[in-house]
Amino acid sequence: MFKPDFVAAAPAPAPVPLTPAPLMPAPPPGAAADWTVPERWDKFTAEDHRVWDLLFARQQERLAGRAVRDFEDGLDVLRLGHGGIPRLSELNARLEPRTGWTVVAVPGLVPDEIFFDHLSKRRFPAGNFIRSAAQLDYLEEPDIFHDVFGHVPMLAQPRVADFMQKLGEAGLRAIGTGALHRLARLYWYTVEFGLAREDGALKIYGAGLASSFGECGFSLDSAEPGRPPFDLRQVLRTRYKSDAFQRCYFVIESFEQLLDTFAGSDLPALYQAVESEGDLDPAEAGEPVQA
């Protein structure tokens, strides 16, 4: 699954055509060419289902009043809280008629090209495993709880579903021009760690926040991180860390704003323009916005 490591990336060289295919690792044993694997839901143990139920219950309580309505509605319509790890076939039977998206099982992190290709075809890759009870608060590699609980409720909303597909298409183009590190920041600060203003209050919509017991509270309550208004150019310049709470969360006013900004932007031109401006440390990205 997509997990870029641009923790402290230096400014990238001018985009040049790449030939990523020779660098593509082979799928692991048992995986198809697109890295999908059979779900094999029956191999999840009673302990695995117990961990899902524990994670779900405590995260739903933690998110009460803190997540956007679209996330809460997605949990309900997809029936993710009906006990145990969801069967992807049953989940897809509810999701696909709404937005055309399906969830596919993968063994873990997949190459960027594979990840964005799945998104461009309205398929979301979900890790076909779950953390142990000893790892409730942190797991480096995204598991099925992060992927399904964190991401999939928003995919039930047409506006977000459209944005995610377009992001997949943009990711494939960015890989081809050497600009993935820029596009990765847009993904990171929206899909994973985005905040939105709803009814005058800050709310969570990013999956990395929705699925994190600790960071969902930190993102809204702490005085430490910045919470600047969403600005695409600034997002493309702002570095991030993948192994710590974020120091900056960009705030959208609405999903229409995000979609309109994304659709109306010449991303290749922006990638080129920000190269001469230099990267920003997250602490420099903007003043905090009060919750």
Q: Domain residue spans in the chain?
A: 44-284
**Confidence (pLDDT) at 287:** 53
List, as own/partner pairs, every contact residues 191-196 make where C-beta atoms lie below 8 angstroms and the sequence separation is at least 24, other chains included. 191/151, 191/164, 191/167, 193/219, 193/240, 193/246, 193/249, 194/249, 194/250, 194/252, 195/219, 195/220, 195/227, 195/249, 195/250, 195/251, 195/252, 196/68, 196/251, 196/252, 196/253, 196/254, 196/255
Tens of pLDDT, residue by residue, the chain (291 residues): 444 333 333 333 333 333 344 467 899 999 999 999 999 999 999 999 999 999 999 999 999 999 999 999 999 999 998 899 999 999 999 999 999 999 999 999 999 999 999 999 999 999 999 999 999 887 778 999 999 999 999 999 999 999 999 999 999 999 999 999 999 999 999 999 999 999 999 999 999 999 999 999 999 999 999 999 999 999 999 999 888 999 999 999 999 999 999 999 999 999 999 999 999 999 887 654 444
**Confidence (pLDDT) at 45:** 98
**Confidence (pLDDT) at 5:** 30
* CATH class (in words) of the domain with range 44-284: mainly alpha
Under 8 Å between Cβ of 252 and 195: yes
Residue 146 appears among annotated catalytic residues: yes
Residue 151 appears among annotated catalytic residues: yes
pLDDT in tens, 60-89: 999 999 999 999 999 999 999 889 999 999
153: Cβ–Cβ under 8 A, 6 or more apart, which residues? 70, 71, 72, 73, 74, 75, 78, 80, 210
- Token pair, residue 115, equals 């990840």
Catalytic residue among 120, 211, 212, 219: 211
- Token pair, residue 117, equals 């290709």
**Confidence (pLDDT) at 195:** 98
CA 119 remoteness from chain centre: 11
Cβ atoms within 10 Å of 211's Cβ, excluding its own: 23
Taking the whole predicted model, whether its pTM rises above 0.85 is answered as: yes
Catalytic residue among 39, 151, 181, 275: 151
Report the length, in residues, of the chain.
Answer: 291
Catalytic residue among 118, 120, 181, 192: 192
Catalytic residue among 120, 146, 219, 275: 146
